[in-house]
Structure 1
């Protein structure tokens, strides 16, 4: 979660000025707040996240403690495969997150037959992953989404224009789902080797093997 800080600064023998910081992570924000308190000229220090929620120091620390018992530090992998001869697609996603000091892995795949291309299958796989995030109750935090589809990643980042109406529809659905959950997605293109787990899930779906699991894994 990224935060900004607003505060009132009393200029020596001068006016009171309202100041705002750039975004920073929680640890940096708390360190800065502690330094500002030492100055003796600062008051009404307020933290604010990207969802517009405002916290005083005690409220922020209580919020952080609450986060630790809920899913956080979320990473998502997605992949889609398409069989032209059969007109069907396999979708796969793997989600990693921490909760109460433990690391969890969720895997999910699906077989669908209403799609028309491998690129659409990639979009559908990402949509499947976003739906799964909602099912897990993951809300109001940054997440990292990784995939080996350069087209989907760059279009979702809005670095590439999207002219295909089908892809636009999928992108709008995904953005809407993320917005509903208050999730701030960062998209990262990765090599196929790094995305092998989601690729395997998509292939298993095409082979008729349904996967839906959630386990605790050992952290390195």
Structure 2
């Protein structure tokens, strides 16, 4: 989450001016606020988040304290594979995050048989990752989502139209879930090589190898 400041500034001769800042991390906003208050000329300072919600200073400070014990700095890799003959899809996701000052990784895959195309499998893998974020208690923070499916990424970024009804349903489901969780997503296309970890998990799922693991990183 990022914050912008709205400041009413008052000079010693009682001339007032109103300023709006650009968005910035919460910690930076609090530091600037502290510096402004030292001048004794900040008549009022308002904190506003990405959703135009107004925050009190003490609530922002508590949010930062709570954030240290909750998952943050999150990057998600996802991939889906599909076997046409058996009409089965393998889903894989890897979630890198920081919690309580430690770097961590969560890996998971799943085998599903109700999908019809590889593109659906890609969407389903992303949805699986978002569900896991929900279980982890992730909310109201930015999250990076990386995948090698140009179809999924470009459709979610509104760069390509979503013509197929099934894919449109997946896109709507994902948008709705992210809004419900308050997640501000960024979607990026990466190469298949860079997405190797999620790809292996999807392949393992198709081979019947189930993976669920959580670990701390060096």
Within a 5 Å distance, the mapping from 1:35-46 to structure 2 comes to 35-46=35-46
**SS where residue 194 of structure 2 aligns?**
helix
Partners in 1 of 2:56 and 2:86 — Cα distance?
58
Unaligned runs of at least 5 residues, structure 1: none
Partners in 2 of 1:148 and 1:25 — Cα distance?
29
**1:93 to 2:93 alignment:** yes
Partners in 1 of 2:59 and 2:118 — Cα distance?
47
The answer as to whether partners of 1:91 and 1:201 remain within 8 angstroms in 2 is yes
| TM-score, normalised relative to structure 2 | 0.92
Within a 5 Å distance, the mapping from 1:38-117 to structure 2 comes to 38-117=38-117
Partners in 1 of 2:213 and 2:51 — Cα distance?
31
* Greater mean alpha carbon deviation, residues 51-60 or residues 112-121: 51-60
Unaligned runs of at least 5 residues, structure 2: none
Which residue pairs with 1:151 in the alignment? 151
**SS where residue 93 of structure 1 aligns?**
strand
Distance 1:32 1:202, change over 3 A: same
Partners in 2 of 1:46 and 1:98 — Cα distance?
29
RMSD: 1.8
Within a 5 Å distance, the mapping from 1:107-146 to structure 2 comes to 107-146=107-146
The answer as to whether partners of 2:9 and 2:44 remain within 8 angstroms in 1 is no
Partners in 2 of 1:204 and 1:153 — Cα distance?
23
Count matched residues.
Answer: 218
The answer as to whether partners of 1:70 and 1:100 remain within 8 angstroms in 2 is yes
